[in-house]
Structure 1
C-alpha cells in the first residue's frame, strides 16, 4: 500500500480529499435518483387540504375473537397499512403522522361485508389491506379478520365507513 502511495505521490490529505469528493458525488446521485423515484411512487393522492386524516380498522364480529386476538389482528392491520402507505401514498402518510395518527376501530358483521367495503375503497381510491390469520389459535386458517382503510382524509374515508358502528 505504501509503495502505491509513493508511486502516485499521494499523501493523507489528498486521499481524504478524493474520498470526500467521491462520497459527496455518490450521495448526491443517490438523492437525485431517490427523489425521482419518490415523485413517481405516490399512487394514492387525495385532493384534500384536510388536516383530519384517519385510519379505520374494521373488525369482523362474526368470528367472535377474544379481546387480545382482536388487539393483535388490529396491530397487524395497522402495521400493514402503514407499510403499504409508506410505499404507495407517502404524502398521505406524512399528513396522518403530522396530525395525530387517528385510528378508529369499527364493527364489520361478515366476510361478505368486508369484501364489499374493500371494493368500495378501491372505487373511492382509498388504500386498504385485509389481514388473514394463520389459524393457530381462535379462528380458522386463512380467515379474513381485520381490514385497514387509509390513512386518508376524514371526509373521504367517512363516505365508505361512516355508517359502521364503533368497536
Structure 2
C-alpha cells in the first residue's frame, strides 16, 4: 500500500510540474508586450542634445560642516533627489522630462554652513528655480531637524552655474 501511495504522489507531482512549465511557457510567449520602438541594426543608445551648454541638471549642496559619514551623505542626497523629482513632477513636468532626457544628471557640491545653504535657497527662488531643503530626522548622526542638503533644480546648466557655479564638488 505504501508503494502505491508514493507512486501516486510522484505522478501528481510530475503532472503538476509539466502543467506548470507548459502554462508558464505559453504565458510568456503570447502575453509578451511588444516594445515601443523596435531596435534595428545600426541603432546606438545615445543622447543627442539641442544645446550642450543648457544640459539639464540637479545640484545637491551637502553641508560639509556637519562631518556626516559617507553613508549618511548618500542617504541625504537620495532624499534630496527624490524631493526634487516630486517637486518637479508637480510644478514643472516639462522641465522634469528634459532633465530625464539628459540622463537625470546629479551633481553633489560642498556647502560650508547652514547660512550658505539658506542663501542658495534664496538665490534659487529669486531666479525661479525649484529648490528643496532636506531636514534630517535625527535618529543617527545629527540633531533632529538639521538642514543637511539642498537640491537645486532640475534646471539648465547655464542657470545653475549662476546659482552654484562657485561651489566645489563634494
TM-score (norm 2): 0.69
* Equivalence for 1:142: 145
**1:132 matches 2:144:** no
**1:93 matches 2:96:** yes
What is the correspondence of 1:66-105 to structure 2 with a 5 Å cutoff?
66-105=69-108
Paired residues of 2:54 and 2:158 also in contact (CA < 8 A): no
Which of 155, 160, 164 does residue 157 from structure 1 map onto? 160
d(CA) in 2 for partners of 1:139 and 1:152?
30
Paired residues of 1:118 and 1:128 also in contact (CA < 8 A): yes
* Equivalence for 1:115: 118
User: What do residues 29-83 of structure 1 show as CA deviations (whole Å, max 9, x unaligned)?
Assistant: xxxxxxxxxxxxxxxxxxx976500000000000000000000000000000000
C-alpha RMSD of the superposition: 1.4
d(CA) in 2 for partners of 1:51 and 1:113?
25
d(CA) in 2 for partners of 1:78 and 1:99?
15
* Equivalence for 1:39: none
The structure-2 alpha-carbon separation of the partners of 1:134 and 1:98, relative to structure 1 and needing over 3 Å to count, comes to same
Paired residues of 1:51 and 1:95 also in contact (CA < 8 A): no
| Structure of higher CA gyration radius | 2
d(CA) in 2 for partners of 1:97 and 1:156?
17
Say which SS state the counterpart of residue 56 (structure 1) adopts: strand
Paired residues of 1:51 and 1:99 also in contact (CA < 8 A): no
- Alpha-carbon deviation of 1:144? 0.1
User: What do residues 122-146 of structure 1 show as CA deviations (whole Å, max 9, x unaligned)?
Assistant: 1111100000001000001100000
d(CA) in 2 for partners of 1:65 and 1:139?
8
